Chain A
């Protein structure tokens, strides 16, 4: 994403993404709080506006990590490694947000914070895989070996993403099935709620793009420092 090898400061696009994301986030929160309550869940449904985009961006981020890890393995360009790492980091944050909001929602709905059902379990595993990704990075001194090993984890770990996404279908579990089913293209949601959800999705995507670009820039600075 960052074109120059060693930029002095983040470029305009990065700032634009970040600024738009930060500015639109309160708007999104206002819309979420103004959205109509659900027939079954009442006001609790509002957690979904954070929960679903968080999970999606987590998946997306890990997919980006997967792509850049593959690219790194073939091209050995340190830039790809930096972006893979940046995306994994932001992905962990979004995944974490999704897990926490999910738990807050589960307590009043299911009566417990955590239960060992497939969606929750596979998501927790996914989270653990990428925590392992950073443990591995921290353990290796040699930058080239570190990048290679991390890339291998980034590629292999991604296998868990489709498993996690499909788990609600495969195991017919307690967790809601997808509101917007990507495999069939069906939408099970009232239009006014869908609009708010999509708005949040856009805001989160903007934030994600800005944060990844910014993190990639920081990583470039760190690398330069390590070399010097």
Chain B
């Protein structure tokens, strides 16, 4: 468990020091949302209706960009082998990377939420419920994304392959997250949205456990 935290915080510190990655991703996020708002606007109705979909598409693109960074530095510096050589199971590498991804994704997700709130008139009153949806959705997405990023890290065409594989696999997560967000937007009571949250939670658990179990099998050798 301690290793998981150590790995996540080391990666986070490296990411903070570099700053280029985070800056480019937030710039990408901003521009993308801005262009979408321009294309769909300027009336409030259509913008508001598009908001949940736009939010999750933006989040999906953003986390794909970020997920390649989970293992990119390790491969560049040749430290992936060292990590794999460490005694004991390999699950902690995956979990550490996932934690690192979540620590990056959640603040970025909140940023995206605020920008969508501003540009697309997405009401932010139910902040906690929105944040819960965000967390559940991002966890489902990141668990698969981190797994694939590790799997493809030693490959040349990974930037193209990753989204291709990821998007088809995580569509159920994105779909239920969008549904939950739509529900919140329309002001449905909490227990009606809760069905989608439960579904998201099921996806999270399934993806997380399968990825954790598969990771050592795939990375060895």
Contacts and interface: CB of A to CB of B under 8 A. Distances in A.
B152 A156 contact: no
Nearest to B216: A73
Given A128-B168, A149-B218, A159 B207 contact: yes
Given A156-B211, A159-B207, A159-B210, A149 B151 contact: yes
Interface stretch (B35-43, B77-85, B100-108, B153-161): B153-161
B159 to A, nearest CB: 12
Interface in B108-135: none
A136 B218 contact: no
Q: Determine the interface band of chain A, counting residues with CB < 8 A from chain B.
A: 20 to 34
B155 A139 contact: yes
B86 interface: no
A194 interface: no
Nearest to A74: B217
Most B-side CB within 10 Å, residue of A135, A144, A152, A155: A152
Contacts of A103: none
A153 B152 CA distance: 12
Contacts of B218: 73, 148-149, 151-152
A73 B214 CA distance: 8
A136 B210 CA distance: 19
B75 interface: no
A16 interface: no
A79 B147 CA distance: 25
Interface in A100-156: 121-122, 125, 128-129, 131-132, 135-136, 139-140, 144-145, 148-149, 151-153, 155-156
A159 B173 CA distance: 12
A188 B210 CA distance: 35
A157 interface: yes
A35 B88 CA distance: 63
B221 interface: yes
Q: Determine the interface band of chain B, counting residues with CB < 8 A from chain A.
A: 20 to 34
B164 A135 contact: yes
A129 B169 contact: yes
Interface string B143-184: 010011001101101000100110011011001000000000
Nearest to A69: B214
Given A139-B161, A159-B206, A73 B168 contact: no
A119 to B, nearest CB: 13
B217 A136 contact: no
Contacts of A178: none
B60 to A, nearest CB: 14
A144 B220 CA distance: 11
Given A73-B214, A149-B152, A132 B147 contact: no
Contacts of A125: 168, 171-172
Contacts of A140: 155
13 contacts: A73-B218, A128-B168, A129-B168, A139-B157, A139-B161, A140-B155, A148-B151, A149-B151, A151-B218, A156-B169, A156-B207, A159-B207, A159-B210
Given A136-B165, A156-B207, A156-B210, 9 more contacts: A73-B217, A74-B217, A125-B168, A132-B168, A135-B164, A145-B154, A151-B218, A153-B169, A156-B211
Minimum-distance CB pairs A-B, first 5 = A128-B168, A73-B217, A129-B168, A132-B165, A125-B171
Interface of B: 144, 147-148, 151-152, 154-155, 157, 161, 164-165, 168-169, 171-172, 175, 206-207, 210-211, 214, 217-218, 221
